[in-house]
Amino acid sequence: MIRSNKQLAVARQKLEKVEEALQGSTAEVDRQVWVSLAKELRCEIDEYRAIKSGQTTVFQVSSLDDVGEALIKARMACGLTQKQLADRLGVSEQMVQKDEAGGYESASVARLADVADALDYQLTGNLQPAGLKTQVTVVNAPTMTYGTPPAAENRVLRAAVDLHEMQGTR
């Protein structure tokens, strides 16, 4: 995932080199590899542009493992820097950098909910047995005129996940 304009520039350079290699390649197997790599780079570049431009504001999450990446994308879609998010959370910029560098892997569920709240996003979906496959979605909710505020919904999700984790440790 591209997370900055600097990474975007690097991805563009890689794409140019891949396209050059593709044009110079004659073996079908080599061509397939280069085409696949070029397609992947284009998708990442397009995704970053869509997020930064505000065209993409809803991020699909199919498991808790996906929440970290969705929160990073949500921050970018909000146009916030890591420093601005840190200010909203009342933590250091280095803490946000560390969380994002690790994809929020070591962050608690409470921390994930706090980040979602700070971004004015809500996490919606179901907590259900692992055998049932449905998607959870992080949705942008900057203007809410009725219903439960995002912070309250995230607290409910946090409690549900904590209960699930406690049951798993028995």
Q: Can you read off the two tokens belonging to residue 4? A: 């900055």
pLDDT the model gives residue 65: 84
Which residues does the chain have with pLDDT short of 50? 141-150, 152, 156, 164, 169-170
The CATH classification number of 59-168 equals 1.10.260.40
pLDDT value of residue 170: 44
The pLDDT value recorded for residue 60 is 86
Q: What is the pLDDT of residue 154?
A: 52
Q: Which residue ranges make up each domain of the chain? A: 5-53, 59-168
Q: What is the pLDDT of residue 129?
A: 78
Name the 3-class secondary structure at 139: strand
Strands of 54-127, DSSP E: 59-61, 121-124
CA distance 161 to 170: 15
The three-state secondary structure class of 45 is helix
Which pairs from 67-71 meet CB under 8 Å and 24+ separation? 67/104, 67/112, 67/123, 67/138, 68/99, 68/100, 68/102, 68/103, 68/104, 68/105, 68/107, 68/112, 69/1, 69/103, 70/138, 71/104, 71/112, 71/115, 71/116, 71/119, 71/121, 71/138
